[in-house]
């Protein structure tokens, strides 16, 4: 027997109605920003909400899909835009589709094997395919919340450990008013 198949997005509230919500604050993003001093300075001023994810998993069989609605708020630590923690899927071959609903941002992808990095536009009317074996992180480069849906295999799992240990090789910063990707090593943080 099927359970609930339909859901309603409350884009104003930034949630899937009735779905559990995970909230990530700046203090949950330790180690994500290249500018460690800037991060501590920002935290000393407060601990803003950076993003929320409400998720729906209607089935857990092989072949089932889960999805989540992400709302990533605008903000920066120094030159670095607010971002998600980022992860690989525990089942590495599991891919994902991101569908942008509102706002303006980027998806940072990094191939675990080769280190190849890509920065793809994610925002209203944009779709990004995240291949298997790709670490992925969402970045809000705009002035309003970035709202998107991610759809992934039910058995993908989230592996945050690998990224927490070594972080992404690339960092997305605001330079002359626009977003660009630069190497973390060699980034001069003032």
Query: Quick one: 51 or 173, whose CB is closer to ligand PAN?
Result: 51
Query: Quick one: 14 or 86, whose CB is closer to ligand PAN?
Result: 86
User: How far apart are alpha carbons 78 and 81 in whole angstroms?
Assistant: 8
Q: Which residues of 65-89 are buried (b: 16+ CB within 10 A; e: fewer)?
A: ebbbbbbbbbbbbbbbbbbbbbbbb
Q: How many residues bind to ligand PAN according to rule CB under 6 A? A: 14
Compute the residue count for the chain. 190
Query: Quick one: 37 or 91, whose CB is closer to ligand PAN?
Result: 91
Give the footprint of ligand PAN on residues 45-74 (CB under 6 A): 53, 68, 70
Burial label, 44 (beta-carbon count in 10 A; 0-12, 13-18, 19+): exposed
By CB under 6 A, residue 158 contacts ligand PAN: yes
HEC secondary structure over 25-39? EHHHHCCCCCCHHHH
User: How far apart are alpha carbons 168 and 138 in whole angstroms?
Assistant: 12
Query: Quick one: 165 or 176, whose CB is closer to ligand PAN?
Result: 165
Binding mask 67-96 for Zn ion (x = CB under 5 A): -----------------------------x
Residues 122, 188 contacting (CB under 8 angstroms): no
Query: Quick one: 39 or 152, whose CB is closer to ligand PAN?
Result: 152
Q: How far is the CB of 61 from Zn ion (least distance, A)?
A: 19
By CB under 6 A, residue 85 contacts ligand PAN: yes
Tell me, what DSSP letter sits at residue 83? B
Q: What does the binding site for ligand PAN look like in residue numbers (CB under 6 A)?
A: 53, 68, 70, 84-87, 96, 136, 138, 150, 152, 156, 158
Q: What does the binding site for Zn ion look like in residue numbers (CB under 5 A)?
A: 96
């Amino acid at each position: 027997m099927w359970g609930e198949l339909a859901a309603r997005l409350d884009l104003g509230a930034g949630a899937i109605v009735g779905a559990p919500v995970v909230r990530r604050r700046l203090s949950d993003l330790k180690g994500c920003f290249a500018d460690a001093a800037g991060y501590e300075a920002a935290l000393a001023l407060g601990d803003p909400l950076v993003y929320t994810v409400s998720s729906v998993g209607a089935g857990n069989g092989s072949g089932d899909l889960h999805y989540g609605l992400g709302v990533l708020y605008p903000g920066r630590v120094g030159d670095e835009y607010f971002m998600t923690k980022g992860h690989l899927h525990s089942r590495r071959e599991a891919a994902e589709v991101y569908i942008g609903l509102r706002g303006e941002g980027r998806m940072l992808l990094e191939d675990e094997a080769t280190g190849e990095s890509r920065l793809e536009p994610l925002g209203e009317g944009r779709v990004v395919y995240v291949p298997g074996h790709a670490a992925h992180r969402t970045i809000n480069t705009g002035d309003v919340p970035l709202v998107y849906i991610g759809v992934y295999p039910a058995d993908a799992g989230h592996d945050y450990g690998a990224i927490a240990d070594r972080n992404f090789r690339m960092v997305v910063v605001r330079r002359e008013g626009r977003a660009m990707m630069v190497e973390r090593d060699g980034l001069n943080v003032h």
